[in-house]
């Protein structure tokens, strides 16, 4: 953790702000490329170890020009719509992570993912002699995994109807890639392992492990036992936007917003979506059910 703090103080000013906008923009360019001619991507843009070592360095960036949802044909308008919807979702993922981590740490995380993909392409070629084309599929998954580890209880609506918590979607998708890693050959294992190495490296390097010490665990348990004692009929947490309390569900989580002027507490659904209170009465939180 201290290592990243020192890096951020030294290089934080070089971080790209709102990086997720450029990431999603690359995916949308990939959608246009696939609509023109799908073979262009695999011939000139994707990550390929032999091509990289042959001097085609531009592939380090252009491999991200790949649609989030594959088109069945050049005129697959439903596929185009899905790409736009998924692109908006991934923009939300990236923006939320940048808001919580800061621009520098989000940049570092994404850069580690790109480096892992490049290493995967080169190592597969050197070790197996195979020329494997690598797309940003695992890079997308690493971004989703970071969001799930940071906001495990956020709900997404599958097809706009079925509410599912992000952590369960991450477990399901992680199980698929774990199966591919175990059942695949050496090339697949190298590709998957190196491509997702940023998830392990970043979260191990930025977490404080003091919280897992016996003394810290005992302190937290004693604190939880004390805060459970409260007067009858009173609630401890209430969202400033929707008015929900901890009594509305055992899994509800509440946090105070450090950017709001005053002590305003928000539930997990409104912590990153509410309008910040700046001191102007027009900015004060309002209940969703009020006109």
Assess whether pLDDT exceeds 80 at residue 110. yes
pLDDT for 265 beyond 70: yes
CA distances in angstroms from 158 to 82, 86, 270, listed in the order given: 12, 11, 20
Banded pLDDT at 291 (limits 50, 70, 90)? very low
Predicted confidence band of residue 225 (pLDDT cuts 50, 70, 90): low
Architecture, CATH, for domain 10-205? Up-down Bundle (1.20)
In this prediction, residue 5 carries a pLDDT of 74
**The pLDDT value given to residue 228:** 56
- Residues of the chain above pLDDT 70, percent: 81
User: What's the mean pLDDT in 209-236?
Assistant: 60
Whose structure tokens read 């843009």?
45
Both structure tokens of 240: 């400033």
* Pairwise pLDDT comparison (29 vs 249), residue with the higher score: 29
Q: What is the helix (H) or strand (E) element at residue 254, kind and residue range?
A: strand 254-256
Query: What residues does each domain of the chain span?
Result: 10-205, 229-283
The alpha helices in the chain, defined as continuous H runs, are 2-11, 19-36, 39-40, 49-53, 59-62, 77-101, 103-128, 137-150, 166-183, 186-195, 197-205, 214-227
The predicted-structure confidence for 134-166, as pLDDT tens digits, reads as follows: 888 888 888 888 888 888 888 877 766 778 888
Name the phi and psi angles at 267, rounded to 5: -80, 175
pLDDT for residue 290? 46
Residue 289 has what pLDDT?
Answer: 47
Q: For position 206, what pLDDT does the model report?
A: 58
* pTM listed for this prediction: 0.66
pLDDT at 101: 83
Evaluate whether 81 touches 164 at the Cβ level (below 8 Å): no
pLDDT for the residue 235:
73
pLDDT-based confidence at 209, cuts 50/70/90? very low
pLDDT of 232 > 70? The answer is no
């Amino acid at each position: 953790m201290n290592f990243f703090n020192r890096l951020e103080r030294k290089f934080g000013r070089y971080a790209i702000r709102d990086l997720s906008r450029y990431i999603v923009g690359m995916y949308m360019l990939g959608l246009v490329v696939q609509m023109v001619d799908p073979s262009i991507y695999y011939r000139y843009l994707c990550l390929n170890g032999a091509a990289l070592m042959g001097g085609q360095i531009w592939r380090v960036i252009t491999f991200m020009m790949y649609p989030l949802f594959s088109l069945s044909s050049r005129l697959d308008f439903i596929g185009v719509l899905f790409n736009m919807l998924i692109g908006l979702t991934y923009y939300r993922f990236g923006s939320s992570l940048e808001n919580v981590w800061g621009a520098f740490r989000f940049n570092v995380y994404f850069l580690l993912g790109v480096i892992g993909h490049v290493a995967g392409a080169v190592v597969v070629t050197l070790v197996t002699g195979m020329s494997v084309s690598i797309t940003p599929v695992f890079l997308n998954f690493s971004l989703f995994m970071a969001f799930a580890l940071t906001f495990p209880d956020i709900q997404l609506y599958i097809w706009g109807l079925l509410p599912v918590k992000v952590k369960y979607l991450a477990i399901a998708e992680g199980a698929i890639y774990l199966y591919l890693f175990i059942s695949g050959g050496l090339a697949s294992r190298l590709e998957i392992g190196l491509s997702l190495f940023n998830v392990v490296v970043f979260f191990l390097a930025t977490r404080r492990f003091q919280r897992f010490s016996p003394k810290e665990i005992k302190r937290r348990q004693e604190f939880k036992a004390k805060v459970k004692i409260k007067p009858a009929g009173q609630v401890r947490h209430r969202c400033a936007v929707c008015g929900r309390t901890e009594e509305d569900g055992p899994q509800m989580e509440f946090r105070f917003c450090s950017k709001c002027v005053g002590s305003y507490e928000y539930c997990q659904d409104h912590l990153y979506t509410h309008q910040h209170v700046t001191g102007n009465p027009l900015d004060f939180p309002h209940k969703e059910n009020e006109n």
